[in-house]
Amino acid sequence: MPSYSIGQAAGLLRVSPETVRRWVDAGRLPAVRNPDGTRAVDGAALAAFAKERATGLHPLPETAAATSVRNAFAGIVTAVRVDEVTAQVDIQSGPHRIVSVVTRESVEQLGIAVGVSVTARVKSTEVHVDVP
């Protein structure tokens, strides 16, 4: 399972690293100390936190600007439902939830799983998911 540094978690949640540190210190977001003293957030825990935050349990500050991201949505995978041929991938990108249906083979080849950092690229009516 992937883990993320405080800075990486902040980027995925679209907040400052200091905000993530405060959430960790307050126990709102679990993190572990690495041997080098840095903190790491488990990908699955970060995905759950991002999903909760988007539903209003961790609301965005009133000062957050409403923006329209053009064509690319960096985020974290919050759910993957796989059947024999297709897979549904749920992505939380800041306050935005993106759902994409892709092939099962693509999910397996790209290693897409809950907690993995991805970018959803939108072209007309299609969404393409890239793993950095």
* pLDDT tens-digit series, residues 53-96: 877 654 555 654 444 445 677 889 999 999 999 999 999 988 88
Alpha-carbon distance 55 to 31, whole Å?
22
| Angle between helix 6-13 and helix 17-25 axes, rounded to 10 deg | 110
Which helix (H) or strand (E) segment holds residue 6: the answer is helix 6-13
Q: Is the pTM of this model over 0.85?
A: no
Q: Select the more confidently predicted residue: 56 or 119.
A: 119
> Which tokens sit at 75?
């985020």
Residue whose tokens read 């970018």:
119
SS3 at position 122: strand
Q: Is the pLDDT of residue 44 over 80?
A: yes
Q: Average pLDDT of the chain? A: 85
